[in-house]
A and B are shown apart, each in its own frame.
Chain A
Amino acid sequence: MLMPAPDPRVLARRGELTRRLRAFLAPEQVVEDQTALRAYETDGLTAYRQRPLLVVLPETTAQVSSILALCTELGVKVVPRGAGTSLSGGALPLADGIVLGLGKFNRILDVDFDNHCVTVQSGVTNLAITEAVRERGFYYAPDPSSQIACTIGGNVAENAGGVHCLKYGMTSNNLLGLEVVLMDGSVLRVGGKYMDPEGYDLLGVLAGSEGLLGVVTEVTVRILPQPQSARALLMGFSSNEDAGNCVAQIIGAGIIPAGIEMMDQLAIQAAEAYCRAGYPADCHALLIVELDGPRAEVDELSESVRELGMRCNATSIRVSATDEERLRIWAGRKAAFPAMGALSPDYYCMDGTIPRGKLAEVFTRMSELSRQYGLRVANVFHAGDGNLHPLILFDSNRPGDLEKAEAFGADILRLCVQVGGVLSGEHGIGVEKRDLMPEFFSSTDLEQQQRVKCAFDPGGLLNPGKVFPTLHRCAELGRLHVHHGQLPFPHLPRF
């Protein structure tokens, strides 16, 4: 993985940078000790490590603004970091850049039940939002599996999803307002506690911008009333095709479940071995379908889904009668990642999205790739929204295994693009999939995205080396080629 070469002039100014940061930050807010810096050298994608120049831990928006303005003045790169749970290396540090940690932005600022929204600082965890509103019967819908640790600021950066996206949307669909600091130190407030804010949809473009456009310091999200009831169905199938077909049948029948998860045979075995979830032992694929809403409606829909399951040759069907049973059905799925630890010393979690209809094709080709690379792959799949999470099993102590796993992963993502899908559903591009971007985008597409980056960060100092395989200078991207007087009026019908 090639990162931008460290700038020796910046490395030489480490002392000056530290001194100027200490002028407005408390001693413990500037981390320069090499041992302490090691804690920040990687994120959830642990294959990559880099010790940062410094780590700064601001407490206020004004401090973030001063830090970014100073870094702009001195030409220092900045890598924002929430909880460091990124699975695509979004918070991977740079040798000549500071890490801007938002861990001290941990306050819930405003819980507004009347207007159904909550405002928090960006370092508050995803789950803490739901916990703050639970007793009044509300929750925050996006629930990435790292929700106990990941921050809402990081969720905005990656446009995080979870298992309920089909019905309740991703982060960007639940976002009302942001306070963002740009690289020049200017503080923007975008949106607020109301719908349809003025101007271009900056909330939309900031969500999923992977920390390349601005540093989010404050987030307002809408909260939803908890549904009156929820039921889960656990259905076993003797083939991935049957399970995939059942998903299409459910959605084709006009049912939008709160979540549809699919697990393949290896994932089922792992979950069973890890936490005895009580999953049927003999099946090749498993579907968990959750329905929520008013009670009678949930009962009616559960029955429809059960009938569809039988029609799709389900080998076993279980419907939760109580909430405990529902949570038990989910337990195995939620433990799927840690369960891999029982099967293999290491696993590499991939993330891509495909049109649901291509599921069987993708699974077949993935098995071929698995044989070709000699590595096992387990699959958990957000089947409702087409988001695949293949888990490639490998052993980092075996020379060449990590590289093989990475090459296998890249082939899976190419496969996703070939069947009409995309490179990432919810983990982001980061450094991990950066060099695969040309598989999906033309150079024109990527240049237009980079021009938008230039509008926010003309110096290219915020999180460079992520998302885009090639860095361009903004001046070069901005140049316009006009063919004065050489073009005829296009031959078009006129009226």
Chain B
Amino acid sequence: MTEIVKPDSEEQLVDLVHWALAEKKRLAIEGQASNRGFAYESSAEVTVSMLGLHGIIDYQPEELVMTARAGTSRAVIDAALAEHRQHLAFEPPAFGPLDGRDARSGSIGGVFMANLSGPRRFTAGAARDHLLGVRGVSGRGEAWKSGGRVIKNVTGYDLSKLMAGSWGTLSALTELTFKVLPAPPLSASLLLPVAKPRSAFALMSRLARNASQPSGLAFLSAPVAAKLEAPVVASRGENVCVARVEGTATAVRERVADLRRVLRASQLLKILDDDESRQLWSGIRDIRGLGACPVIIRITLPPFRARELVAEWLGPGSSNPWFADAAGGCLWMGVEDSAAVAVVGRLRRQLAGTANVVVFRAPDRVKRAIGVFPVQPAPLASLTRRIKQSFDPEHILNAGRLAPL
């Protein structure tokens, strides 16, 4: 059992890191622990709870920017944004329920540290695209800042982006400034039957360039569709493609018409209204269709590469539940515990250099056997080590989180 400390100011955090350096103690940096099941478990002696650093510092809706302390709960942020009909456009998922936690759990620091982005990823960008500035304390015990409170900025290196997806291994962030955008008032989704998964990718690619500018394009294999808490999809027992459009009532109506224009009548199963659409996409976003799988793999890749992969891997006879999000650029796959090591190994060999195969959830034993993240080529790995060194030379921050010790 590790000791938990909860600094409530940047100064206390600085003192804490200095103490850890002197005492050779490793620190686990944690918010609401909603991402604890992902990456590797930290092997630190002391857990630093960032929840003492909480609260929105500044929010001016017409500037499209919010600054919040790292430990601010997502629920607080979402509520403040909703009041001004704004949102985080990258649609951060809530993976809490996968581990039996609250669906709205998570802190804003955790969202960016894990660079978690949802179905709108392929049009709106990832979490990292929305991070404008940060303050934090490095593993050298120094408080530093980067970026600013404006959208367009080339003042010094963009170290904010370097923080996004760094899982707290470079600095413990205290404050984050991020872009917020108007939330579309309405959405609708078209449900399209797709017998052969392979043909779904060409369809999604075609729809992605449709005048309607869909903000969600996913393919759900029948077993995944069946598990979503969206009756309209779950009850059908077949493979479907889903296309989401968003905007004002006029915009949604026109966008639906634009989509229908390029589809044959037989290609359209049903049009989901705003409520049904939101329910379905929150299930896709939070990968609820794979909830029961012991091992979950995420593959980001070119959509047409996904098409070949699917034909080979997930055709008839395959029992792995899977779905494609982000217009086919992101595959989620559930795998049996016993097959995981072989499957991931083969995928990584086959896709080397053209995709990122991440083991999103697995028992610790599987993670250690195959690696949560792929092995980097030597020059990249050595640069990564030097970057880590530049922020945290004694490896005290989130030790073991990205690479097992």
Contact = CB atoms under 8 A, between A and B. Distances in A.
Interface stretch (B103-111, B272-280, B284-292, B383-391): B383-391
A195 interface: yes
B181 interface: yes
Contacts of A387: 152
Contact of B22 (A158, A213, A440, A486): A486
Given A296-B254, A449-B146, A487-B18, A172 B161 contact: yes
B interface majority secondary structure = mixed
Contact of B302 (A193, A296, A385): A193
Nearest to A137: B209
A192 B49 CA distance: 36
B255 A116 contact: no
Interface stretch (A51-59, A249-257, A319-327): A249-257
B304 A452 contact: no
Interface stretch (B56-64, B92-100, B218-226): B56-64
A488 B19 contact: yes
B71 to A, nearest CB: 13
Interface string B99-132: 0000000000000000101000110011011000
Interface in B282-325: 300-305
Contacts of A138: 209
Contact of A482 (B22, B150, B303, B387): B22
Nearest to B117: A196
Interface size class of B (residues with CB under 8 A): 35 or more
Given A159-B158, A172-B161, A199 B62 contact: no
A346 B3 CA distance: 65
Nearest to A223: B209
B251 A296 contact: yes
Nearest to B376: A199
Q: Point out which of B16, B155, B166, B358 has the most chain A C-beta atoms below 10 A from its C-beta.
A: B155
A286 B305 CA distance: 48
A82 interface: no
B354 A194 contact: yes
B12 A492 contact: yes
A192 B354 contact: yes
B211 A445 contact: no
Interface string B1-40: 0011111100010011011011100000000000000000
Interface stretch (A267-275, A362-370, A424-432): A424-432
Contacts of B355: 192, 194
B143 interface: yes
A227 B393 CA distance: 48
Interface string B132-160: 00000010101111101111111111111
A35 B326 CA distance: 54
Nearest to A467: B156
A311 interface: no
A400 interface: no
B302 A448 contact: no
B103 to A, nearest CB: 23
Contact of B153 (A424, A452, A489): A424
A480 B140 contact: yes
Nearest to B249: A300
A200 B213 CA distance: 30
A446 B145 CA distance: 9
Contacts of B145: 441-442, 445
A465 to B, nearest CB: 15
B300 A194 contact: yes
A94 to B, nearest CB: 21
A353 B251 contact: no
A278 interface: no
Contacts of A480: 21, 140, 393-394
Given A490-B16, A492-B6, A252 B61 contact: yes
Q: Point out which of B12, B209, B247, B258 has the most chain A C-beta atoms below 10 A from its C-beta.
A: B209
Interface in A222-250: 225, 227-228, 248
Contacts of A251: 62, 64
A316 interface: no
Interface string B180-212: 011101000000000000000000010011111
Interface in A162-189: 165-166, 169-170, 172-173, 182, 186-189
Nearest to B9: A492
B19 A297 contact: no
Interface in A409-458: 420-429, 437, 440-442, 444-449, 451-456
B162 interface: yes
Interface stretch (A14-22, A204-212, A258-266, A390-398): A204-212
B152 A382 contact: yes
A456 B83 CA distance: 44
28 contacts: A116-B209, A165-B151, A172-B129, A188-B379, A193-B302, A194-B356, A195-B121, A196-B117, A204-B164, A205-B162, A207-B158, A225-B210, A225-B211, A248-B62, A254-B86, A256-B181, A293-B213, A294-B251, A296-B251, A297-B251, A385-B151, A428-B154, A442-B144, A445-B145, A453-B157, A455-B383, A492-B6, A493-B5
The 5 closest A-B pairs by CB, nearest first: A204-B161, A254-B182, A455-B386, A451-B390, A228-B211
Given A194-B305, A297-B250, 12 more contacts: A116-B205, A194-B356, A203-B161, A209-B158, A225-B209, A251-B62, A251-B64, A297-B251, A353-B153, A382-B152, A448-B144, A493-B52
